[in-house]
Amino acid sequence: MEQYLDLVLPVLLGVFLSIQLYYILLVHGRLRAYKPSGLPDDIHYTPLSVIICARNEEANLRLYLSEILEQDYPDYEVIVVNDGSSDDTNWVLKEFQARYPHLRTVEISDRGGPRKGKKFALTLGIKAARYEHLVLTDADCFPQTDKWLKYMAQQFTTGIEMVLGYSPYTPAAGFLNKYIRFETYQTALNYLSSALKGNAYMGVGRNLAYTKSLFFKKKGFASHMHIPSGDDDLFVNQHATRTNVAICLPQEAHVWSAPKTSYKAYQQQKIRHFGAGKAYRSKHKVMLSLQAFSVVAFYLLLTLLLIFQPRYWPLAVGAYGLRLACQLLINIPVMKRLQVNDLIGWFPLMDLLHFVYISAMGIFALFRKKVQWK
């Protein structure tokens, strides 16, 4: 009996290592193998409606709106929903409208009543859209190039109703910036790889597209209107199928924004995200929980093995080395493609911190009920 108990930790380590290798090689490996296509010369570009919700975004609109309005695209409109702003957002939009006739606005008054949130604002913007194909982003975002819309639009081939884009954060000094960018990369690695596997479970509203007919066929955000966040990931989670989702990965189509600059603001943002995650489909909650738990368990078992059964140190070191080698094999090319190659040297540390942090935040979010959009 004692002999069998002696093997419990090594066997469990092997089990969780196997789970990790499945995610690394068979799921994330799909993104490594994916080759983005360029822009063909003879494509017919469908008209687009770009929708942005803005609440007190005067400064960001001045900085970034022109880059949305000056896309190299034959036929598109930009709709900015001014969601009860108390700053000069309204005047900034009037200034832009004088220069850009394809800019339209939707005004939501804020007269002291209860706020209805971003989903309500986005719904009004979608209702106002003239075109079938919608591209969503935020007021604090800017596309890397003026070809962004062309790359997103070309993904709307037959049967495709959703296009998942990628939105990195801008680099800055400090460890928090590095961690946020790494966490954003890991999130993208997961949801883009899963989409390629035919199991899309989320997208990010900073760079996301879908059809207007899908939105109204599925009754918009009706099923989760009571959840403040999730206008992007919950919509994708509930309505993605194995065949109606495409991804858009060329660097020319990346949409950038500035990350949070304080730990408190970042924590509040993550709590909002986890609040939406509780409403994911059961199969996706199981998938994501298993992935996170397997990493935490792997590191915990490594530690216990080295402390209580040090004679197994070659096994522990070998397991860690094998996992890390597979991770680097998959992640280095993807990190370069997703423009976080400056974080490659930080990978071993960030990998450990990332899953410990999101596990802790997931538990914390269970006890937080009230969150809101701005």
pLDDT per residue, tens digit, the chain (374 aa), is 455 557 899 999 999 999 999 999 999 999 999 999 899 888 889 999 999 999 999 999 999 999 999 999 999 999 999 999 999 999 999 999 999 999 999 999 876 566 678 999 999 999 999 999 999 999 999 999 999 999 999 999 999 999 999 999 999 999 999 999 999 999 999 999 999 999 999 999 999 999 999 999 999 999 888 888 889 999 999 999 999 999 999 999 999 999 988 988 888 777 777 777 788 999 999 999 899 899 989 999 999 999 999 999 999 999 999 999 999 999 999 999 999 999 999 999 999 888 777 767 666 555 555 545 45
Quote the pLDDT of residue 342: 97
- Both tokens of 60, joined, read 């960001």
What are 286-295's contacts with CB under 8 Å, separation 24+?
Answer: 287/194, 287/199, 287/201, 288/190, 288/201, 290/19, 291/19, 291/23, 291/190, 292/355, 292/358, 292/359, 292/362, 293/359, 294/16, 294/19, 294/20, 294/23, 295/20, 295/351, 295/355
With a CB cutoff of 8 Å and minimum separation 6, the contacts of 35 are none
Quote the pLDDT of residue 245: 98
- Both tokens of 123, joined, read 């719904």
Quote the pLDDT of residue 209: 98
C-alpha pair distances (Å), 91 with each of 34, 86, 88, 105, 245: 44, 11, 5, 11, 38
Q: Which residue has the tokens 């080698």?
A: 325
**Which of 269, 92, 23 lies closest to 169 in space, CA to CA?**
269
Quote the pLDDT of residue 373: 46
> Could you tell me the end-to-end alpha-carbon distance of the chain, in angstroms, rounded to an integer?
59
SS (H, E, C) the chain: CHHHHCCHHHHHHHHHHHHHHHHHHHHHHHHHHCCCCCCCCCCCCCCEEEEEEECCCHHHHHHHHHHHHCCCCCCEEEEEEEECCCCCHHHHHHHHHHHCCCEEEEEECCCCCCCCHHHHHHHHHHHHCCCCEEEEEECCEEECCCCHHHHHHCCCCCCCCEEECCCCECCCCCHHHHHHHHHHHHHHHHHHHHHHCCCCCCCCCCCEEEEHHHHHHCCCCHHHCCCCCCCCHHHHHHHCCCCCEEECCCHHHCEEECCCCCHHHHHHHHHHHHHHHCCCCHHHHHHHHHHHHHHHHHHHHHHHHHHHCHHHHHHHHHHHHHHHHHHHHHHHHHHHHCCCHHHHHHHHHHHHHHHHHHHHHHHHHCCCCCCCCC
- Both tokens of 178, joined, read 């590095």
CB atoms within 10 A of CB 8: 12
- Both tokens of 284, joined, read 């996706």
Report strand pairing: 76-83 vs 48-54: parallel
Rounded-to-integer distance, Cα 170 and Cα 258, Å = 5
